[in-house]
């Protein structure tokens, strides 16, 4: 079996230990591997997402373009994460977001059609799907609440705490956009923290 798919299936087994080797092997027949170069798009605004992508290697960012024409970053997804505009993928509706590779990226992909097939034929995978959907929704909720209940400084500290491995992999402008702050504000926050 392709090593990338094997790594992915091991991550599935960790979340759903009851999955049998037969079920995993059957699942593997529905998966494809796709490679993307840096700056290439996994998903474009207005397009229907055909595949959900598990990032085996690399880094992507999700963003939209606001009414002023500015790119607003809503998420960074690295190894072990899913690249998806999940609600639009499930409904097969046009996406409101772009998902762009910030590095050369390899994904294990499952088409919407094959997802329905595996849910029908591999009952244990439905549980996995529910758990992943729950995780995606939890992250979205945390993101919304960070803008309601946290200051810019708290959002930055939170990002440092939970995503320290991404610092050398993303640009300052993408980070500022994600945090919803200007570059000079980020500089002030960093200086303040450095002097504490």
Query: Which candidate, 153, 150, 147, places its Cα nearest to that of 193?
Result: 153
Helix axis angle for 183-194 and 172-179, nearest 10°, is: 90
Taking the whole predicted model, whether its pTM rises above 0.75 is answered as yes
Torsion of CA 111, 88, 6, 40, to 10 degrees: 90
Alpha-helix runs per DSSP H in 53-164: 86-91, 112-121, 123-149, 152-163
Find where tokens 């590095």 sit.
103
- Round the CA-based radius of gyration of the chain to a whole number and report it: 18
Query: Which candidate, 102, 122, 106, 105, places its Cα nearest to that of 114?
Result: 122
Query: Which candidate, 8, 120, 91, places its Cα nearest to that of 53?
Result: 8
pLDDT of 84: 93
pLDDT tens per residue across span 60-107: 999 999 999 999 999 999 999 999 999 899 999 999 999 999 999 999
Query: Which candidate, 99, 1, 94, places its Cα nearest to that of 43?
Result: 99
pLDDT tens per residue across span 165-189: 998 899 999 999 999 999 999 999 9
């Amino acid at each position: 079996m392709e090593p990338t798919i094997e790594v992915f299936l091991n991550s599935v087994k960790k979340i759903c230990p009851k999955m049998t080797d037969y079920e995993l092997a059957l699942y593997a027949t529905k998966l494809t591997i796709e490679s993307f170069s840096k700056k290439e798009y996994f998903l474009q605004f207005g397009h229907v997402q055909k595949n959900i992508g598990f990032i085996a290697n690399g880094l992507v960012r999700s963003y939209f373009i606001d009414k002023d024409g500015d790119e607003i970053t809503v998420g960074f997804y690295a190894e072990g994460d899913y690249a998806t505009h999940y609600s639009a993928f499930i409904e097969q509706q046009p996406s409101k977001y772009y998902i762009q590779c910030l590095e050369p990226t390899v994904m294990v992909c499952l088409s919407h059609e094959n997802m329905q097939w595996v849910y029908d034929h591999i009952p244990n995978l439905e549980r996995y799907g529910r758990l992943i959907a729950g995780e995606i929704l939890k992250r979205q909720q945390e993101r919304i609440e960070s803008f309601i209940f946290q200051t810019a400084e708290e959002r930055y500290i939170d990002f440092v705490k939970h995503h320290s491995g991404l610092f050398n992999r993303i640009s300052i402008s993408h980070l500022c956009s994600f945090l919803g702050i200007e570059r000079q504000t980020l500089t002030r926050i960093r200086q303040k923290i450095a002097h504490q």
